[in-house]
Amino acid sequence: MNEVILRDNLIEGNMSNVLLNSTFIDLSSNGLKGCLPQLSLNVVFVSLASNSLLGDVSPLLCDNKMLNGKNSLLFLDISLNNLSGGLTNCWKNWKSLVAINLGSNNLSGKIPSSMGSLSNLISLHLHENKLYGQIPPSLQNCHSLLVFNVRSNYLSGDIPDWIPHSVMALQLRSNNFSGKIPPQIFQMSSLIILDIAHNAISGHIPSCLPNIKTLLLNNVSPNKLSFSFPLVRTSRYFRSDNLELVTKGKIPNEIGNMKNLESLDFSRNQLGGEIPRSLSSLSFLGYLNLSFNNLRGKIPSGTQLQGFTILSYTGNRDLCGSPLATMCFQDDKHKGTEVVDEDGNQSEFWPWFYIGIESGFVTSFLVVCCAIFLNRKLRHAYFKFLYDLRDRLHAMVVVNMNLFR
C-alpha cells in the first residue's frame, strides 16, 4: 500500500514498536497513543500531528540503524502531541528532509547543531516548546530555508546576523532574545514576515525596510492576522505554512514603499511615535489595525486611513484626527497654538479668534464690576434691579403653582 490517508477520524491505538512502510502516511487528528513508531526506507511523507503520542523523538529518528542516512523522507509533521525530551542529534541521517514540524509539544533542551546538515530543508517549525539556549550557527548552512519558526520557547542571546538570505518568514516572538535587531535582517531580499514581538529587543527598527517588498495575506480576523504562501510542491502533495505577524518599536516612514501591501496589523504592541504620512499612499491597503499601542499625533490624511473605523486606532490615547472624534492641536513656540484642520493644514485664525473673545469678555466684566462698586448711584440702581427681578420671579412661581393645584 503506497498511501495511508486516515486523518480527521477517531482512530485509536498504540504506535509503539510499529514500523511505518507506506510512501505517504497521514494519520493526523486521531486518538493515537504511545511512543513514536519507526520509519522504513520507503516513507516520503508522514504526518502524526494532533494525536496523543508521548515520549521523545529517538524511536523515530535514531533507533533504526538500518537507515544510516539512506532514506526518502521529505515531510515530517509530529506537532500537537505530548512529546518530551530533547531533539536528539541524529538529524544528519535525514538529509533528504524538506519540511519539519515539531511544534506544540513539550520538547526541551537546545537546538542540535546537526540540524545544520539538512541542506535541503525549506521549513522548520519548533514553536511552542521548551527549547533554550542560542540558535546554533550551523543553521546558516541551510541555504534553502524559507520558514524558520521558533516562537514561544526560551531561546536567548542576540538575534543572529547570519540568518540565511533565502528565509521568507522569520518568527522569533515570545522568547528571551536581547540586543538590537541586526541590520542584516532587513537586507534579506526574500523576507516577507518578521515577528520578534515579546522579547527583550532594544533600539529602533532600521530604516532599510524597503527591501521587504510585500506581505501576502490570508485569513484575516480581529484577533489573528495570518499569512500563507506555497511551501513546496512534490508530485501532487501540496503544503502551505501560516504565520502571525507582530512587531515592536516605531512604524518606519519607509513602510510607504510597500506598494503592494494589502493588510497591516500592528495591534496590541508597544509602538510609539506618529503614524508615518507615507502610510496614506498605500492604495491597496484594505485592512488596518493599529489599536492599543502608544501612537500619538495626527492620523495622516488619506482616503484609505480616513476610511477605516475608529476600531483601527482605538487604544492610542494621544492619537487624534479623523476618524477619531479627538481634535488635533500642535504646539509651536513661535506661533502659539495652531489648529490642524481636516485637510492637514494649520490655521492661526481660529486660535486668535477665541483668544479675542475671551479677552473681550474678561475686559467687559471687569469694567462693569468697577463701575458698580465705584459709582454709588449705579450700585444702588443695580442692586434695586436685582431685588425687583427676584420679587417678579417669586410672584411668577407662586401664580403658576396655584394654577396647577
State the pLDDT at residue 230.
Answer: 41
Query: pLDDT at residue 223 above 80?
Result: no
pLDDT, mean of residues 159-166: 88
CATH number of 3-208: 3.80.10.10
Residue ranges per structural domain of the chain: 3-208, 375-405
State the pLDDT at residue 342.
Answer: 42
State the pLDDT at residue 287.
Answer: 79
Predicted confidence band at 184 (pLDDT cuts at 50, 70, 90)?
confident
Q: What string of H, E and C letters represents the secondary structure of the chain?
A: CCEEECCCCCCEEECCCCEECCCEEECCCCEEECCCCEECCCCCEEECCCCCCEECCHHHHCCCCCCCCCCCCCEEECCCCEEEECCCCCHHHCCCCCEEECCCCEEEECCCHHHHHCCCCCEEECCCCEEEECCCHHHHHCCCCCEEECCCCEEEEECCCCCCCCCCEEECCCCEEEEECCHHHHHCCCCCEEECCCCEEECCCCCCHHHCCCCCCEEECCCCEEEEEEEEEECCEEEEEEEECCCCCECCHHHHHCCCCCEEECCCCCCEEECCHHHHHCCCCCEEECCCCEEEEECCCCHHHHHCCHHHCCCCCEEECCCCCCCCEEEECCCEEEEECCCCCEECHHHHHHHHHHHHHHHHHHHHHHHHHHCHHHHHHHHHHHHHHHHHHHHHHHHHHHHCC
State the pLDDT at residue 52.
Answer: 95
State the pLDDT at residue 148.
Answer: 94
Query: pLDDT at residue 382 above 80?
Result: no
pLDDT digits (tens, 9 = 90+) for 303-352: 678 888 888 888 888 889 888 888 887 543 333 334 444 444 444 455 66
User: Among 128-132, 219-223, 343-347, whose mean pLDDT is lowest?
Assistant: 219-223
Q: Strands 294-298 and 318-320, how do they pair?
A: parallel
Q: Which one has a higher pLDDT value, 341 or 126?
A: 126
pLDDT, mean of residues 7-28: 90
- Report the distance separating Cα 164 and Cα 323, nearest Å: 42
Predicted confidence band at 237 (pLDDT cuts at 50, 70, 90)?
very low
Pick from 300, 210, 219, 206: nearest CA to 249: 206
State the pLDDT at residue 228.
Answer: 39
Q: Which one has a higher pLDDT value, 275 or 33?
A: 33
The residues, ordered by sequence, that sit 6+ positions from 207 with a Cβ below 8 Å of its Cβ are 252, 253, 254
pTM listed for this prediction: 0.61
pLDDT, mean of residues 268-274: 74
pLDDT digits (tens, 9 = 90+) for 41-64: 889 999 999 999 999 998 888 866
Task: Report the mean per-residue pLDDT for the chain.
Answer: 76
Q: Which one has a higher pLDDT value, 252 or 6?
A: 6
Q: Which one has a higher pLDDT value, 137 or 399?
A: 137
Q: Of 12-16, 131-135, 324-328, where does the model show the most confidence?
A: 131-135
State the pLDDT at residue 137.
Answer: 94
pLDDT digits (tens, 9 = 90+) for 196-220: 777 777 665 555 554 454 343 333 3
Predicted confidence band at 247 (pLDDT cuts at 50, 70, 90)?
very low
State the pLDDT at residue 260.
Answer: 59
Query: pLDDT at residue 70 above 90?
Result: no
State the pLDDT at residue 67.
Answer: 59
